Amino acid sequence: MFTKRQKEILSFLVHSKDPIPAEWMAKQLGVSDRTVRDELKELRVQSHVLGATIESIRGKGYKLVIQDVEQFQKMGRLVIKNAYVESPTYLLEQNDRVIYILKKFLLEKKPIKVESLEEELFVSKPTIQNDLKVVREILHRYELKLKVRPHHGMVVEGEEYMKRLCLSNYILHRSHHRDEKISFLENGDVFDQNIFAGIQEIIIKKVNEYNIEISDIALENLTIHIAIACKRIQEGFIIGDIQHSMSRKYPLEHLVATEIIEEVEHLTGLTFPQSEINYVIVHLLGTKLVQQETLEKFSEYDEVKSIVQCMLEQLKDKLGWDFSDDTELIQGLTLHIRPAMNRLRYKMNIRNPLLDKIKTKYTSAFEGAVIASKCISDYLGMEVGEHEIAYIALHIGVALEKRKNNEKKKLRVMIVCASGVGSAKLLFYRLQRIFNDEIEIVASTNYYQLRDWDLSSIDLIVSTIPIQESIGIPVQVVSPLLSEQDVEEIRQRLLSIKVSDRENYLDESRVFIHKDFEDKESVIRFICQELYKQGLVSEHYVNSVLERELLAPTNFGNLVAIPHPLIPETEETFWAMCTLKRPIEWYGEQKVQVVCLLNIKKGPTGNLEKMYQKLLDILEDKTIVRKIIKSKSPKEIIEIINSMKR
């Protein structure tokens, strides 16, 4: 009654709670949109047999509405092989199918055939083959391989330790939110939920007993790792010995792990060999498992102190941020870095649910964390990864916010007075009394001595005499006795300085439009070469930009990427922008069509937040980005940017 293609279309509709566009189904089936619409017309005629109708929803697609549940249960099973009852709803997207397949391979004892996956997931063989390609890529990261056993199917081969890491990381990858993660686990196909809850209770009891600090996320992650160990031991898979002498090297972790496992053995009836206890120790090492009374002494612990010191030195040297007296930051980094280094040593990936928000909302802190993380990567000889970097950025972000709050948010003013010390003092005290909350008077000087001063940090000069030559700083001429009109003019001047702050970071010579490139490296090399021709960067500048890109991708969504060098190298802070004829892949499946190379002045950078915020205000605005992409000249792009309200 129903063709194979019609059954496939029905399975799509059954699995989805939301309307599905014909275009999407056409791509999945490898046919034209028209073919799918023709099949849908026929299905709508026959759907009464199933006790259902197919509705067409304008602008959204097609939706299956079941009118007779009993009839559909009876007939639907015959048509789509029990898909209505058994198939989960989250397998329409490739990423969800990949995780499902990955989990199946890592948990199944027997080889799995491609044909069984096709039937189970209701997708075509080419779709499964594409999914398996992604699965192989993921397994490769864990030194695992998908091996074909002729006439039997495929199995995952490799170390048990790596299989468990892969399984745990991709269960955690399913969702970043606690409630969603639990609901995923509650489907019962991974863990017995009573066992899972029991393990969690055991861990809570032990950390309370030993007065140990552990976060909710770390608690749940540790529970998952031990639950995985239980399932694998139950199925006969024992982990190999990870490392000898762990009890001597990590006495606290060994004690806690041993007592946890004793209670887990009692709960499950399983027996854990010493290698499995070491496996739990490894995961305790990846957690901030620190007794409260040892926190103050902890900064002296082993290698961590030198790593933190290296970070502080790098932040001061590269960005001019001196946090040497910030004990809260030092302690926070110390507590974070020890488990972070253990996670990296034992290849335990960590996922930061706030990664994207940290990159966009705390850009300065993230860039500082990229520089600081080099201390860890150089020490361990391995890349840190952007999820770990984002956690370091949280600590740096707190320190920056604290420093910002402590800084006097006042404009720096210098007095120039030709009438002598007495009148200069009078002017000083009157300005200080009237504008106490708005200005900081740095110094008073005579006109002839003005040239000897470094004016780079001065916002305004208040002078009793006209200053004819241009000194690059606003000058407000006043009476030595400071009249009411003078006060009002100074007030307006201060307001204009605060509001204007419209430094122009973009020049027409540094804007390139509608270029045709295939990949991000080509774009970056092109922009850097153009800047080199203009004498703005060194010949090797591009290497620093590409090195920074390797540490953490710089795409920010909305078709935008903001690459930049690892450390500030240019004489001034400026942007260089390039628009592309068509979007290119930047990282994963994320596309980019506007590339803004960010070049930051070397030496102390001061507060870059305003500059970052200005850039993000522009590039997070979808309307502005579309206008930039369509612009026909560099001048038009600059006009679009300058027209934005700040």
| Strand stretches in 81-234, DSSP E | 145-149, 153-157, 212-213
Token pair of 352 as six digits: 């930061």
CA 405 vs CA 140, 398, 399, 409, 615: distances in Å:
47, 11, 10, 8, 23
With beta carbons less than 8 A apart as the criterion, state whether 243 and 250 touch.
no
Residues 6+ apart with CB under 8 A from 2: 10, 43, 46, 79
Q: What span, in angstroms and rounded, lies between the C-alpha atoms of 511 and 322?
A: 35
Give the Cα-Cα-Cα angle 642, 645, 646 (nearest 5 degrees): 95
Indicate the CATH number for domain 191-292. Answer: 1.10.1790.10
**Superfamily for the 508-642 domain:** Mannitol-specific EII; Chain A (3.40.930.10)
Partnered with residue 441 across adjacent β-strands are 413
Q: Which of 407, 453, 415 is nearest to 607 (CA)?
A: 407
* pLDDT tens by residue, 9-57: 888 887 777 788 888 788 778 788 899 999 999 888 888 888 888 998 8
Token pair of 102 as six digits: 């990955």
Q: Domain boundaries in the chain? A: 4-87, 91-159, 191-292, 295-406, 411-500, 508-642
The residue type at 612: Y
With beta carbons less than 8 A apart as the criterion, state whether 604 and 320 touch.
yes
- pLDDT-derived band at 295 (thresholds 50, 70, 90) equals very low
pLDDT (average), residues 535-550? 92
Q: Which of 532, 528, 540, 580 is nearest to 559 (CA)?
A: 580
DSSP code, position 476? E
With beta carbons less than 8 A apart as the criterion, state whether 574 and 506 touch.
yes
| Strand stretches in 448-572, DSSP E | 460-463, 475-477, 511-515, 555-557, 560-561
437 against 511, higher pLDDT: 511
Can you give the pLDDT at residue 300?
Answer: 44
**Superfamily for the 295-406 domain:** PRD domain (1.10.1790.10)
With beta carbons less than 8 A apart as the criterion, state whether 282 and 248 touch.
no
Token pair of 394 as six digits: 């949280």
Residue 89, pLDDT > 50, answer no
Query: Under CATH, what is the fold of the domain 4-87?
Result: Arc Repressor Mutant, subunit A (1.10.10)
DSSP code, position 570? B
The residue type at 368: G
The residue type at 623: T
Q: Do domains 4-87 and 295-406 have the same CATH topology?
A: no
* Phi, psi of 9, rounded to the nearest 5 degrees: -65, -45
Range 411-500 classified under CATH 3.40.50.2300: yes
pTM of the model: 0.58
Q: What span, in angstroms and rounded, lies between the C-alpha atoms of 283 and 289?
A: 10
Q: What span, in angstroms and rounded, lies between the C-alpha atoms of 267 and 282?
A: 22
Under DSSP, is residue 268 helix (H, G, I), strand (E, B) or coil?
helix
Q: Which of 241, 272, 244 is nearest to 257 (CA)?
A: 272
* pLDDT tens by residue, 427-470: 888 898 898 878 888 888 888 788 788 887 788 999 988 888 87
The residue type at 1: M
* pLDDT tens by residue, 166-217: 887 776 544 443 333 333 333 345 667 888 899 999 999 988 888 777 777 7
Can you give the pLDDT at residue 408?
Answer: 53
Give 108-133 as a DSSP string.
Answer: -SS-B-HHHHHHHHT--HHHHHHHHH
CATH number assigned to the domain with residue range 91-159, chosen from the 4 options 1.25.40.90, 3.40.50.300, 1.10.10.10, 3.90.950.20: 1.10.10.10
- pLDDT-derived band at 405 (thresholds 50, 70, 90) equals low
* pLDDT tens by residue, 98-114: 888 988 898 888 899 98
Residue 86, pLDDT > 60, answer no
* Phi, psi of 501, rounded to the nearest 5 degrees: 10, 50
Residue 298, pLDDT > 50, answer no
Q: What span, in angstroms and rounded, lies between the C-alpha atoms of 153 and 555?
A: 39
